[in-house]
Amino acid sequence: MRLFRLLLLLAWLGPFPAAPSNADESLATLMDHDRLREAVAVAESRIKTKPDDVEALVALATVRATERRFDEATQLAERAVAAGPKDPDAHYALAQVCGLEAPRASTLRKPGLARRFKKEAEATLALAPDHEKATEALIEFYHVAPGFVGGDKKKAVALSDRLVQIHPTSGWLEKADLATSEKDTTRAESCLRQAVDAAHEPRAKVALAAWLAVPWRKPDEAERLAREALESEPWRVNAWAVVAACQAQQKRWTDLDATLSAAERATPGNLGAHYQAARMILSVKGEPARAEVLLRRYLAVEPEIGFPSHAGAHWRLGQALEMEGKKPEAIAELQTAVKLDGTLEGAKQDLKRLKG
């Protein structure tokens, strides 16, 4: 679930074909590297050959939940549990599906999904007490869920303390999330720095970089940390997005062009850095025509699963066109955004304002 939190940190900033999978790359690697479309193809192929392939079922369930195809995701996760009742990852997959669906479910269904999430996450830890992702997920659950379904902020803190002991980087990242949710920015930054110091993992550097990328924090340090992460793991799209956002904020157009070109080479088929750069340009009222070019480039490629949708890109393109004084074109883009995703309240508000 950490991908979504990282994207939220970046969100205030407001055609290349997908690279073919390397035969040596595992399904786990494709999932870890956010190459979910490739992972889907591999998982579906494996399931056709072996319907009870637990790893493939888990991966496909996770992706379908990310796409908000919850009925299919639930069925796949249940199949994984049935095929591997003592496999902790199968139980975690079912917990994750419930956890992702619950915030979007009806009021009547939320409690049942929350309880099922808790049951499956706890089943995961019963089978594998040090399961990192299940521990992270339970920390979040205990912190945000109401008491009548099992929420308990004291348990969240205690479990985060345990996570620091067994997986220090993840533990400190979770503590940073808890601090952020409590609006304790000083504590949040301290925890993020301790996450980096714990093992100097690239993912921790990217998390701290995303936090520091906000202009009134430390964008120069953010860019440095993101670049350090990219030295060892150039596939990290969110690290490229941090670098691009920092350069866009500072209106370093030559540097930005070079960064986006490098990002395309390193992460073919995923133009997340282009999208975030465009968001930042609009945020700082930079060059809207440049943002327009980047957003049209983003719209020329099918977005990777889990990254900003085309609906969101049409919304931002409408904002760029408005800043350029192209009102009719802006209205058309906003209408497209709302048609593609009726939940985009910001796009609806912009459309209503422009249409008067």
Give the closest residue to 239 by CA, choosing from 194, 208, 214, 281.
208
Residue 202 resides in a domain: no
Report yes or no on 94 lying in a domain.
yes
Tens digits of residue pLDDT in 303-350: 999 999 999 999 999 999 999 999 999 999 999 999 999 999 999 999
pLDDT of residue 334: 98
Residue type, 313: A
54 close to 87: Cβ distance less than 8 angstroms = yes
Asked if the model's pLDDT at residue 10 lies above 60, the reply is no
Does residue 308 form part of some domain?
no
How far apart are the C-alpha atoms of 320 and 316, rounded to whole Å?
Answer: 6
pLDDT of residue 25: 76
pLDDT of 21 higher than 90 = no
Residue 356: the pLDDT is 84
Q: Are 294 and 277 in contact (CB under 8 A)?
A: yes
Q: What number is the average pLDDT over the span 154-175?
A: 98
Confidence of residue 28 (pLDDT cuts 50, 70, 90): very high
pLDDT of residue 7: 35
CA 200 remoteness from chain centre: 21
Please tell me the predicted confidence (pLDDT) of residue 215.
86
Q: Is the per-residue pLDDT at 20 higher than 50?
A: no
Q: How confident is the model at residue 23 (pLDDT cuts 50, 70, 90)?
A: very low
pLDDT in tens, 33-44: 999 999 999 999
Q: Please give the C-alpha separations between residue 223 and each of 49, 69, 123, 173, 214, in angstroms, as whole numbers.
A: 45, 35, 40, 19, 11
Chain centroid to Cα 162, Å, comes to 25
Residue 98 within any structural domain of the chain: yes
pLDDT band at residue 207, thresholds of 50, 70 and 90? very high
Give the separation between CA 296 and CA 271, rounded to whole angstroms: 11
Range(s) of the domain holding residue 41: 1-6+25-128
Determine the Cα–Cα distance for residues 339 and 35; give it in Å rounded to an integer.
Answer: 27
Percent of the chain at pLDDT > 70 equals 93
Name the H helices within 182-236: 185-199, 202-212, 219-232
Percent share of the chain, pLDDT over 90: 92
Q: Do 240 and 267 touch, CB atoms closer than 8 A?
A: yes
Q: Is residue 283 part of a domain?
A: no
Residue 13 pLDDT grade (very low, low, confident, very high; cuts 50, 70, 90): very low
Q: Cα torsion at 23, 24, 27, 32 (round to 10°)?
A: -120
> What is the rounded CA–CA span in Å between residue 7 and residue 207?
10
pLDDT 10s digits, 267-277? 999 999 999 99
Residue-wise pLDDT for 178-201, tens only, equals 999 999 999 999 999 999 999 999
Give residue-wise pLDDT tens across range 92-101.
999 999 999 9
Asked whether 30 and 39 are in contact (CB, 8 A), the reply is: yes
H-helix or E-strand spanning residue 183: none
Cα separation, 247 vs 197, whole angstroms: 26
Q: Nearest 5°: CA angle at 332, between 329 and 337?
A: 130
Residue 107 in any domain: the answer is: yes
SS3 per residue for 26-64: CHHHHHHCCCHHHHHHHHHHHHHHCCCCHHHHHHHHHHH
Quote the CA–CA distance of 132 and 17 in Å, as a whole number. Answer: 33
Q: Is there a domain that residue 158 lies in?
A: no
Whether 46 is covered by a domain: the verdict is yes
Model confidence band, residue 167 (pLDDT cutoffs 50, 70, 90)? very high
pLDDT band, very low/low/confident/very high, at 6 (cuts 50, 70, 90):
very low
Q: What's the pLDDT tens digit per position in 68-118?
A: 999 999 999 999 999 999 999 999 999 999 999 999 999 999 999 999 999
pLDDT at 280: 96
Q: What is the pLDDT of residue 1?
A: 42
Number of domains in the chain: 1
**Alpha carbon distance 280, 242 (integer Å):** 10
Q: What are phi and psi of 262, to 5 degrees?
A: -65, -40
Quote the mean pLDDT of the chain: 93
**CATH number, domain containing residue 39:** 1.25.40.10
With a CB cutoff of 8 Å and minimum separation 6, the contacts of 220 are 246
Burial class (CB in 10 A: 0-12, 13-18, 19+), 221: middle
